[in-house]
Structure 1
Amino acid sequence: MGHLHIYMILNRRRFFLAMVSFFLPFFLLNGFSPLKGFKRSVLKNGLSVFIKQDKKTPVVSVQLWVKAGSVDETPENNGISHFLEHIIFKGTENYSVSEISRAVESRGGIINAGTSKEFTCYYIDIPSSGFIDAIKIIADVANQKATFPEDEIERERTVIIEEIKRSEDNPENILYETFNKQLFTVTPYKWRVIGTVDVVSKLSRQDLISYYKKFYVPNNMVLVIVGDIDYKETRKIVEQLFGQAKKSDVPERKSLIEPVSEPSFERVKKPVNYSYLLMGFLGPEVQQEEYQITADVLSIILGVGRSSRLYHKLREEQQLVYSIGSGFYTQKGTGVFFISALCSPENVETVKDE
């Protein structure tokens, strides 16, 4: 029987920062900027808007980023951000669920959403001929015009509960959740994005509406538009569709800076054929944005792809693992640097030591 091995190496943070410091000057000197080409503005109601005109291809992406995720939740409503994400596109005051689907998919577009610990994102990628419908649908989301049909809520509740149950049988997910629970014991990063069956089963329609009205306000959102559009015309449309919503106070987030704790180890027994290994430590914080960017690159050098250092040494040279990789979770607060591997049970200790 294989095992799931979770190692915490929290006291190696200084080593990590020393490593990223080595790579940092390269990126700063080469003018790396993820916002190159964007024009930023802020509406009077506090909505931040980023627009980039790019006419290389006749497509447009309209995205709404909401500062609401599992870090904004409590034990009583954990999972509500994700639940809300499932419901928002199920109908608005101006578009039924079928009209939303038809407006986007009939043009070959894509409509989707995602939830993380820190934010929820709604987006529509569509040929530029469908831009007006796309931005109107996103505006309905931003302007609190979602209608929350009761039948859709119950349908999505069932879907989410099944998602949770599947995740609890998935070795890699069990590994991650156990790792996260040990790494974050103080800050709200400890909450699961998907929530729990017990909490999701109890969330009411009014709970969803109240959360929506509390967090989906213009000064708590960012609108991003990229593609085959005219900047000046798009800026006018944005003002017309999004400018009337009123700003509102949003609950202040609890501290997202996780204190360093003692190293720890946990082994979870599961009926699997291999051993899954996950080890990591706390990384750069919000005040260290330049380190966060460099940390992503460092993780690529160490463990992304067949040319990475870890793959070359542990997979090709020593043949100790079936797969290995590394990564960095960039977060508003304390980040996470991790290394994961799949190996035979007898090789776990050797891989860990390497």
Structure 2
Amino acid sequence: MLRLKTAFSALLLALVGLPAMAQEPSQATHEFHLDNGLKVIVREDHRAPVVVSQLWYRVGSSNEPPGQTGISHALEHMMFKGSENLGPGEASKLLGSLGAQENAFTSRDYTAYYQVLSREQLAIALEMEAERMHSARLPEDEFLREIEVIKEERRLRVDDNPNSLAYERFLTQAHMASSYGQPVIGWMHDIERLTIDDLRAWYRTWYQPGNAILVIVGDVSLEEVRPMVDSYFGPIPAGELPPQKAPLELPGGAERNVTIEVDVQLPSLILSFNVPSLSTATEAWEVHALRLLEGVLNAGYSSRLPSRLERGSGVATSASASYSAFSRGDTLFTLSGLPNQSRDVTLAELEAALWEQIDLLKNAPPDSAELTRIKTQLVAEDVYARDSITHQANQIGQFESVGLSWTLLDQDAAALEAVTPEQVSAVARRYLVPQRLTRGQIVPTPESAPNTAIEGAN
């Protein structure tokens, strides 16, 4: 027991010291540009002879015009279908034979391709990625097969998943003025209308060196990486890029309500408020205060929503808060929950309980001990996550892709530490208001009325 208490005390001391740890000199990180506009960021991490290479393009579903939703995601699929010197799937087979991992992902703001492999094989990944950047083949026969795969992916992830379908529909109302209401995978009727010529035009427009960030993290040095990058990416000509504007929301003016009937077993509630991200905020401290507000409400077992609404009053079987601070445009602060059906709690009663917690924070700032716990938890999560070179690369790539500098990552702990309890209350009063609210009630589809006999029928 004594050893257990000693270990627990040591853990507490370590956690309290985490913000200070985050202020120490960071890992060696280098940044440079090629003449064609490609931005390159190299971070050294010499704990293992492994490297992650990621190529991020600043294009996602929020860039897509009406009628072409899902085109960024579709192009991501097609980028594995061959290039100048490699046939469909050959790059993946080669990387697999070397024991490397590879994949890609598309979001509202970016599309990224990555490989995790031995440091000695980095040149292979860079050569393949450079070739895909300037000479992807995009064959029509492969497209006709792959578009069917994408349709099935949409069916599995969204159309046949009632909760995903409901949330997709909810987002079309929550994002009143921005393209963030468009699904990343695209609307089915748009997927069905995409052509290979559409994808080829999208590729020529957005897959340019000046619209990309190459992030390399691992057991490498700038001296060995730069010549490889120059060799493979330097000859690619610079292209002309269309201007990009951040997706912005209306600052307020209307409370919106949407009731969505889908084939779910239990009703649920979503309250989303239009708020700025770090990319769009006038005052950066407001974003960090919103992050801490999310933590006060929903950072673990002892935070307010689970402790008060789930285990306390029992009004909810689940209650949570979420906030995406790092996006290209304005974003959402969301509270959601399931009413406790065993106690006959209604959606209106659950909403009243959520508003009660919001009002408490508006009227009384969290005490310093509560806020310190949340700050320590957020910093600790980031410190531990940085054990992964992939996590480090993801952070750098995401920040750079949405228009933020990767250097902000090393300032994050200090930015959180500077937020006061009153500032947490201030952002609640400013942003969690009905004028910014979209209320979503997701309810089960009513059962079909029973068939009745027609009077007079024989």
Query: Which TM-score bucket, shorter chain as reference?
Result: 0.7 to 0.9
2:148 pairs with 155, 158, 164, which one?
158
Matched with 1:209 is: 200
Q: More displaced, 51-60 or 262-271?
A: 262-271
Distance of aligned partners of 1:291 and 1:189 in 2 relative to their CA distance in 1, 3 Å threshold:
same
Structure 1 residue 353: Cα displacement: 1.1
Q: More displaced, 157-166 or 98-107?
A: 98-107
Matched with 1:300 is: 295
Distance of aligned partners of 1:69 and 1:32 in 2 relative to their CA distance in 1, 3 Å threshold:
farther
Larger radius of gyration: 2
Matched with 2:138 is: 148
Q: Structure 1: which 4+ aligned runs deviate by more than 6 Å? A: 27-33
Residues 65-214 of structure 1 aligned to structure 2 (within 5 Å): 65-142=56-133, 144-166=134-156, 167-214=158-205
Q: More displaced, 108-117 or 218-227?
A: 108-117
Give a deviation string over 1:256-300, Cα, whole Å, max 9, x none.
111124112212122322112211111224243554455344423
2:264 pairs with 272, 280, 283, which one?
272
| 1:316 aligns to 2:311 (yes or no) | yes
Matched with 1:331 is: 327
> 5+ unaligned residues in a row in structure 1: which ranges?
1-26
- Secondary structure, in 3 states, of the residue corresponding to 1:97? coil
- AA partner of residue 313 (structure 2): Q
How many positions carry a matched residue from both structures? 328
- Secondary structure, in 3 states, of the residue corresponding to 1:210? helix
Q: Compute the RMSD of aligned alpha carbons.
A: 2.5
Q: Work out whether residues 166 and 262 of structure 2, in 8 Å CA contact, stay in contact via their aligned partners in 1.
A: no
Matched with 1:349 is: 348
Matched with 1:8 is: none
- Secondary structure, in 3 states, of the residue corresponding to 1:280? strand
Measure the CA separation in 2 of the matches of 1:170 and 1:132. Answer: 41
- AA partner of residue 141 (structure 2): D
Structure 1 residue 177: Cα displacement: 1.5
Measure the CA separation in 2 of the matches of 1:150 and 1:138. Answer: 21
Matched with 2:52 is: 61
Structure 1 residue 204: Cα displacement: 1.2
> 5+ unaligned residues in a row in structure 2: which ranges?
1-17, 354-458
Matched with 1:263 is: 255
Measure the CA separation in 2 of the matches of 1:262 and 1:132. Answer: 54
Give a deviation string over 1:291-334, Cα, whole Å, max 9, x none.
44553444234224323321111111122222222211232111
Structure 1 residue 222: Cα displacement: 0.7
**TM-score, structure 1 length as denominator?**
0.85
Measure the CA separation in 1 of the matches of 2:288 and 2:110. Answer: 19
Matched with 1:3 is: none
Measure the CA separation in 2 of the matches of 1:206 and 1:40. Answer: 36
Matched with 1:239 is: 230
Q: More displaced, 227-236 or 302-311?
A: 302-311
Q: Work out whether residues 53 and 227 of structure 1, in 8 Å CA contact, stay in contact via their aligned partners in 2.
A: yes
- AA partner of residue 266 (structure 2): Y
- Secondary structure, in 3 states, of the residue corresponding to 1:317? coil
Q: Work out whether residues 27 and 44 of structure 2, in 8 Å CA contact, stay in contact via their aligned partners in 1.
A: no
Matched with 1:43 is: 34
**TM-score, structure 2 length as denominator?**
0.66
Q: Work out whether residues 163 and 264 of structure 2, in 8 Å CA contact, stay in contact via their aligned partners in 1.
A: no
Identical columns (%): 31
Distance of aligned partners of 1:232 and 1:256 in 2 relative to their CA distance in 1, 3 Å threshold:
same
- Secondary structure, in 3 states, of the residue corresponding to 1:57? coil
